[in-house]
Chains A and B, each alone.
Chain A
Amino acid sequence: MRLEEFSTKINACMSSSTACGLCRNQCPSLEFWGREARTPRGRMALCAHLLRGNLFPSPSLMEAMFSCILCGNCDAVCPVGAGPSRVIEAARERLVERGFLPSKHEERGSHVGREHNPYLESHAKRFSWLPGLNLPERAPLVYFVGCTSSYREKELARKVVELLGKMGLNFTLLKDEWCCGSFLLRTGQGRIDGRKVEEMARHNLEEVRKRGAKEIVVNCPGCYRAWKSDYPELGIQPEVEVLHLVQLLEREKNRLKVREEEVRVTYHDPCHLGRHMGIYEEPRRVLSSLPGVELVEMPRNRENSWCCGSGGGFRAGYPEASKWVARKRLEEARETGAQFLLTACPFCLRQLKEVAETLRYDMKVMDLTEFLLERWGGWSSGSSGDA
């Protein structure tokens, strides 16, 4: 959406009765940089002045807008529902239109247009992690892998395929999967010719049709938001049911056959799955149904969760700040005494795993998929007899 379309939201935020600053509380970028232009409230003020023509696009305005993780904590606490993170996305789009786009994002964005992924990789190698697997031409369920799992968390992609197979689900992959467009939308590039997300959505949807699928499952919350929320906003209805893997796992709990093992785990809510899309309880219900698994919560959980630091182009743009944000989350996880920090997002997984390694934490960081597979081969959590 364009910045102008948010004027009512901006007005609500700027009204003197509500310009409250609640969004400052727990804003990762404020905590790192410690100044007002890096707070949701400060950014909303800048958007307001930009909209009214009191302020003009500039490199420093670009920095202010692109230094937000889009974690959405501000959206969750705003008393008037102004939704700062959506406004910031719209401001990014305005800045991009005027030629202000961080060079890293520009390079990745134009690559999406050419090679359908933001990781500067070849499209031909998208499914190189899947040699020799014979998946059906048509199936009721399509696993939409996404760019991060395809290129940066290949092992996770492999494991999702393995898990779906072990669960006995009839699924396949798209023949020609393209980037969902999330990266472009989050970095204000969704309307540039050659990178238009509508075109990407239509392509992916056509590919799903060719597979005859009724459902799509994604393991990336960024893809999930794109399919479930962004495409309809662009006027494209996916026609098929879109599920995040945690929803599918919950629905198909009876198919999970895991060994009983006494372990203590904690769950990190990915921002794009939780605050952006409201999915908090499904992964918790899956975990609670597993024999021997004790789920302990971090003090900040669900809509109050602290981000992993990798969303919204933040990891690429601000590596130092991004790692600092992750460290804070890992410290919280460690304080719970959990042996496993679990999540349901390839971005969060990659970020938290890497930073945990540098900190030499003995706590294991895993995606829920990996956790389930590691314990595969015992009781079905939904059954009462031998598997």
Chain B
Amino acid sequence: MTPRLGKGELERELARMVGKENVFTEEVDLLPYSADHFLRGLQYYFPHFKFLPDAVVTPSETSQVSRILRFASLHRIPIIPRGAGTSLAGQLIPVEGGIVLDLKKMNRIEPRVEDRMVVTGPGTTYAELNRELERRGYFFPPEPGSAMACTVGGMVATNASGSGAVKYGATRNYVLSLEVVLASGEVVRLGRKVAKSSSGYSLKDLFVGSEGTLGVITEITLKVEPYPPVRKTTLALFPTLDDAFEAAMEILRKGITPASIELLDELCLLALNLSGFSLPEGKGALMLRSDGRYREAVEKEMEEMEGICKGKGAELLEVEEAVGRRLWEAREKISASLTKLLPPPETPRLVFQASVDVGLPLSRMLEYVRKVKALMEEKGIMGVCFGHVGDGNVHIGSTFVPESPEQVERARRFQEEAIRLALSMGGTLTAEHGVGLWKAPYLEEEHGYALELMRSLKKLLDPQGILNPGKMALEGIPRIAFMESWWREG
């Protein structure tokens, strides 16, 4: 994507637009932006994955973003918009250098609860937003695993969600309106700040999940929900994973929509115990959460779910609210705890875990989980299988130590097979993490000709291809095929 400006000239030009205190070009400032959650560890181990941007800019206003994009278009400089860097599929890696826009300073929050909405900047974290909303009796529900760190902008850009999606839906369901800066620098408003609209194409939806490839989101208007004052959690431990799954299916078949219904395998339970719990051993478990405005209704719903679980041989652990909160937090940290389960000598070493997050039709989920477990055993993979069983979202975390080419290759093949298996069963390759670089090689298998349509739209909106290049296979399969080459080149 050359020609580029020299470092000094780039720095000067950017400083004119945002002030020199918001422009960074030293290696120390660039290096932490060369990776996201997905690549950070790998890059540490394999120095050739050091994709430094040319500059980092921290704008605080839409007009600054607009000026930067106009400038970047003119000089064909890649632009990588960035929130908290918690993306799990390599969405933020500046593979062709360019300017990283760290949107942290665009974090204004304007609660408008009388309109049941909130207007916010992309740099606001999910946690900050909900702190403000909860004070007013409302909340923004999608609650991804990275809730304490991720930004709302990142959530919109990846259509993120989490354990609450079964009842409350994903980020997309809450986006009412977006302000977006296009590659040309043009500022457009997509959608109106109203609860519903039938006016024209829903272009805002095109930008939800676009991973920064179509424009830079600078303002977000979200629908908000009344905060449910009553929450109840039960952990149901089953003799087998199949029993847990069947109980979950029966709950859903009965027409119950719990706030969360999480499937955990044996290793997940061990991981929870490593987070300070003393749960009895079990082969499979369901974490159930019911919430609402009325205690009686919440208790009734939970009772009904518990009855179904008992019928499948479950041992029930009702959890007090404070413990329940800790349990849900520990559930979000299962991946982190997993590394502690590895036997020495792996424990103190650098351990990677690629997180598969496929989505399946509910009716095929158990079959998928069984096949994946068999695949893990066949390939000698140490990993966990858990998921948001209410919406067919299966997470598979598989560990490997990068010093062992054999382990790396085994993990790579396993992940690829797990993704392809989901696609062959009518699933999607990503239910909530997004595509980024990592899953780009499989996107065509899922979308077929529709990927060509996506590419046409990309060309229309970003003719120079400056917006987050290399992601989502929009320019073809990425030049850097991580899964193919990460250790061979090391």
CB atoms of B47 and A21 under 8 A apart: no
B105 x A34 contact (CB < 8 A): yes
Q: Is A186 an interface residue (CB 8 A)?
A: no
**Which residues of the other chain, B, contact A52 by a CB distance below 8 angstroms?**
44, 47
Known contacts A11-B350, A25-B148, A49-B44; 17 further A-B pairs (Cβ under 8 A): A11-B348, A12-B339, A15-B351, A16-B38, A16-B39, A16-B42, A17-B397, A18-B336, A20-B146, A21-B37, A34-B104, A35-B56, A37-B24, A37-B28, A46-B28, A46-B31, A80-B336
Bound together, the chains give a CA A264 to CA B38 distance in angstroms of 48
List residues of A (34-70) whose CB comes within 8 Å of B's CBs.
34-37, 39, 41-42, 45-46, 48-49, 52, 54-55, 58, 60-61, 63-64
Checking B32, B41, B125, B397 against A37 with a beta-carbon cut-off of 8 angstroms, the contacting residue is B32
Judged by a CB distance under 8 angstroms, whether A103 is at the interface is: no
Q: Which residues of A contact B338 (CB under 8 A)?
A: 17
Interface check B159, CB cutoff 8 A: no
Binary interface encoding of chain A residues 22-34 relative to chain B, with 1 for a CB under 8 A from any of its CBs, else 0: 1011000010001
Which residues of chain A come closer than 8 Å to B40, judged between CB atoms? 14, 16, 19, 45
Q: Tell me the smallest distance from the CB of B32 to a CB of chain A, in Å.
A: 4
Interface size class of A (residues with CB under 8 A): 35 or more
**When chains A and B are docked, how far (Å) is the Cα of A18 from the Cα of B84?**
14
Residues of B within 8 A of A48 (CB): 44
Minimum distance in angstroms from B322 CB to a CB of chain A: 15
| A residues in contact with B416, CB < 8 Å | none
Task: Identify the interface centre among B40, B86, B146, B348: most chain A CB within 10 Å of its CB.
Answer: B40
Docked CA distance A20–B337 (Å)? 12
The answer on a CB contact under 8 Å between A15 and B350 is yes
Question: Cβ of B336 and Cβ of A16 under 8 Å apart?
Answer: no
B28 near A61 with CB under 8 A, answer: yes
A321 CB to nearest B CB, Å: 12
Contact flags (1/0) for B338-358 with A, using CB distance below 8 Å? 111000000011111111000
Interchain nearest-CB distance for B239 vs A (Å): 29
- Kindly state whether residue B399 has any CB partner on chain A within 8 Å: yes
A45 CA / B28 CA spacing, docked (Å): 10
Question: Is there a chain A Cβ closer than 8 Å to B367's Cβ?
Answer: no
Query: Nearest-CB distance from B20 to chain A (Å)?
Result: 14
Is A243 an interface residue when CB atoms closer than 8 A count as contact? no
**16 sample A-B contacts, Cβ–Cβ < 8 Å, listed by A number:** A14-B40, A15-B352, A16-B354, A17-B336, A18-B335, A20-B86, A21-B146, A24-B84, A24-B125, A25-B127, A35-B58, A36-B33, A52-B44, A60-B26, A60-B27, A61-B28
Q: For residue A54, which residues in chain B have a CB less than 8 angstroms away from its CB? A: 44, 47, 50
Q: Which of A24, A35, A49 contacts B29 (CB 8 A)?
A: A35
Binary contact readout B359-397 vs A (1 if CB under 8 angstroms, 0 otherwise) = 000000000000000000000000000000000000001
B389-416 contacts to A, CB under 8 A, are: 397, 399
* Assembly CA distance A17 to B102 (angstroms): 23
Question: Does B316 sit within 8 A of A, measured CB to CB?
Answer: no
Which residues of the partner chain A approach B340 to less than 8 Å between Cβ atoms?
80
Q: Known A17-B352, A20-B86, A48-B44; judge A37-B29 contact (CB<8 A).
A: yes
A379 to B489, CA, bound (A): 76
Assembled-state Cα–Cα distance A280/B56 (Å): 40
Task: Identify the closest chain B residue to A299 (Cβ).
Answer: B131
CB neighbours of A46 from chain B (8 A): 28, 31-32
Quick one: given A48-B44, A79-B333, A80-B339, are A21 and B86 in contact (CB under 8 Å)? yes
Are A24 and B149 in contact (CB-based, < 8 A)?
A: yes
Q: Are B58 and A34 in contact (CB under 8 A)?
A: yes
- Residues in chain A near residue B27, CB distance under 8 A: 55, 58, 60
Interface residues of B in 291-348 (CB under 8 A from A): 333, 335-340, 348
- A134 beta carbon closer than 8 Å to chain B: no
Chain A residue with the shortest CB-CB distance to B106: A34
Whether A120 is near chain B, meaning CB under 8 Å from some CB there, is: no
Cα–Cα distance between A54 and B33 once the two chains are bound (Å):
15
- Given the complex, which residues of A lie within 8 Å of B337, measured CB to CB? 79
Residue total for B at the interface (Cβ-Cβ under 8 A):
49
A14 to B149, CA, bound (A): 16
Q: Are A25 and B336 neighbours in the complex by a CB distance under 8 Å?
A: no
A79 touches B336 (CB 8 A): yes
Is B85 in the interface zone, CB < 8 Å from A?
yes
Q: Which residues of A contact B56 (CB under 8 A)?
A: 35-36
Q: Name the residue on A nearest B338 (C-beta).
A: A17
* B37 A22 Cβ-Cβ under 8 A: no
Report B-chain residues with C-beta under 8 Å of the C-beta of A24.
84, 125, 149
CB contacts (< 8 Å) of A58 on chain B: these are 26-28
B32 touches A21 (CB 8 A): no
B333 — which chain A residues lie within 8 A by C-beta? Answer: 79
Point out the residues of chain A lying under 8 angstroms from B58, CB to CB.
34-35
Distance A46 CA – B44 CA, assembled complex (angstroms): 10
Cα A34 to Cα B122 in complex, Å, equals: 13
**Which residues of chain B have C-beta atoms less than 8 A from A61's C-beta?**
28
In the assembled complex, A8 has its CB within 8 A of some CB on chain B:
yes
Interface string of B14-36 (1 = CB under 8 A from A): 00000000001011110111010
> Is the CB of A77 closer than 8 A to any CB of chain B?
yes
Tell me, rounded to whole Å, the shortest Cβ–Cβ distance linking B393 to chain A. Answer: 18
Rounded to whole Å, the gap between the CB of A34 and the closest CB of chain B is 4
Contact residues, B55-82 vs A (CB, 8 A): 56, 58
Interface string of A340-380 (1 = CB under 8 A from B): 00000000000000000000000000000000000000000
Are B32 and A14 interface neighbours, CB within 8 A? no
10 shortest interchain CB distances as A-B pairs = A17-B353, A42-B32, A21-B149, A36-B32, A16-B41, A79-B336, A60-B28, A18-B336, A60-B26, A8-B348
**Measured CA separation A320–B348 after assembly (Å):** 40
From the candidates A22, A34, A42, A80, name the one contacting B149 in the complex (CB within 8 A).
A22
Q: Kindly identify which residue among B104, B146, B339, B397 contacts A35, using a CB–CB cutoff of 8 Å.
A: B104
Name which of A15, A22, A80 has the most chain B CB atoms within 10 A of its CB.
Answer: A15
Chain B residues near A36: list those with CB within 8 A.
29, 32-33, 56, 85, 102
Q: What's the Cα separation between A12 and B41 when bound, in Å?
A: 9
The answer to whether B353 touches A49 (Cβ under 8 A) is: no
Specify which chain A residues have a CB less than 8 angstroms from the CB of B336 in the assembled complex. Answer: 17-18, 20, 79-80
Cα(A14)–Cα(B43), bound, Å = 9
Which residue of A is nearest B84, CB measured?
A21
